[in-house]
Each structure stands twice: as structure tokens, then as C-alpha cells.
Amino acid sequence: MPFAAINSKKVHYACPIDLTKPQGRIILLVHGAAANHKVWTHQVAHLAQQHRPIAVDQPGSGFSDGPAPKRLSDYLDVLHELAHKLGLGTFVFCGHSMGGALGIDYALAYPREVAAYVMVCSSARISIPPDRLKLQGQDPAGYRRMRRASNLSRATSWPIAGQVEDILAEQSAEVAMTQLGAVSGFEAWERIRGIACPTLLAFGDSDPNVDQVGDLLRRIPNSTFRIIHNAGHYPMWEQPQQLNQAIDEFLATLP
């Protein structure tokens, strides 16, 4: 199980391919709040056939040491240090939800490192209602049931929904609350005009943020959009083949 030591803490990442192997692109996969690297299970297995995927556990999540930082900028610093520790050079940043917000900040802060950016069900403006944060703290199981109802497509089978919920349940309520609090209030609506790299926006057709895609496309200069049918906020598990194909086709367009 690979780890990198960052600020005296262990940061776990899953990488089935030797990063020195001259194979395709290096792709850094960054999960959202209250999740871990397992949300990318299907993408890591698929992408490893032609590329070098790395799915990281953010601080406090999965196998990475805690505590979870309270500021989004601290997660960004960890990712930047991890990229340097692993010698990633130039890579594709693929982020889901909170990970997508971090992708925006990373692409703007370190444009020479990001060859391309894949935003999966995220936004340039994120606000977590206070009642949801309160529910997460008081009734984590109830919060996960609410997320299942509001964040997954009605077409998603109960077994798949259960697997997503199991991944979310692996994080403690404290970590989930801290990470949700860190990303709540994220605002980059005007800053995204400065993203210079090719960008793919991949959204489930019933994702809560899908109505923002038009505005994102108008603001991010070199961006394209792919809808993932019969998927909500977790297309990585709800419709992995569709998402994998969208990523494959996007990567094939890169110079």
C-alpha cells in the first residue's frame, strides 16, 4: 500500500502502474468530501490499461492520516506536495465534487503542471446548506440516506447505491463534516475564465449541479461537455462505462 510522507503525515494513494513506465498520461484522481479513493475504483482499473492513474486519499480520508484540514487551501497544498514527491511533472487533474473545486484551484495556481482538467459533477460555486451540515453531525446515517435520495439517479440500482453508501460510510462523521465545511463557500465563478488547459465537464444527467454546465462552458475557455445518462452525482459508480468512455475520448484529443 503506497504512501507519501507530507508534513510528517502519511498520504495514501492507489496506483497500479509504475509511474516511470512510458504509458499514456499520468492522471491524478481526486475524490470529493466525505469519500475516499475507492470512488475511482472503476476508473483506475480502466485507465491503467493505457495510462498511469493515481487515486489519492485526501487527508483524513481512506488510509491517509488525519486530521482533515478545515481550509480548502490546505488540501491543495497537500496535492501539490504529493505531485512533487511522486515526480508527476505534467499531468491530467481529474476531480469529483470537492475534488473538482481543488482542480480549479490547482489549474489556476500551477498551470504549467496541469495538461488538462476533468471536472466530474462539481462547480465553481459550492454551498452546503447549514441544515445538511447539522444533519451530518447529528445523524450520519440519515445524512447518507438523504444523499442517496438527492444525489443518485432514480435509475441507479439498489446494489450500486449501497456500494456508494458503503464508501461514504467509511469516513467518520467528523471528517465528513470538516471536509464539507472546507468546501462550502467555494467561489471561483469569475476566476475560472483563467483556466488555460483543455477541460472536460462530465456530469450525470440528474446531478444537482448539471444546470450550471452552460455557464461553466461559457466561462472556461477551452471546455467541452459530456452528459452521463442515468447517473446522478456519482457517475463513477452509477455509469462507469459511460464516464470512462468520455474520459478516453477527451484524452485522445489532447496534443
pLDDT at 104 over 60: yes
- Whether 11 and 3 have beta carbons less than 8 Å apart is answered as yes
Structure confidence at residue 217 (pLDDT): 98
pLDDT at 49 over 80: yes
Q: In this structure, which amino acid lies at residue 150?
A: S
Tally of domains within the chain: 1
Closest of 226, 250, 251 to residue 25, by C-alpha: 251
- Whether 221 and 195 have beta carbons less than 8 Å apart is answered as yes
Q: For the domain that residue 120 is a member of, what is the CATH number?
A: 3.40.50.1820
Is the full-model pTM beyond 0.85?
A: yes
Angle between helical axes of 140-151 and 130-138 (0-180°, round to 10):
130
Print the domain residue range for 131: 3-252
Average pLDDT of the chain to the nearest whole number: 93
**Residue 208 preceded by cis peptide, ω within 30:** no
Integer angstrom CA distances of residue 101 from 7, 126, 127, 162, 176: 23, 8, 12, 26, 16
- Whether 73 and 205 have beta carbons less than 8 Å apart is answered as no
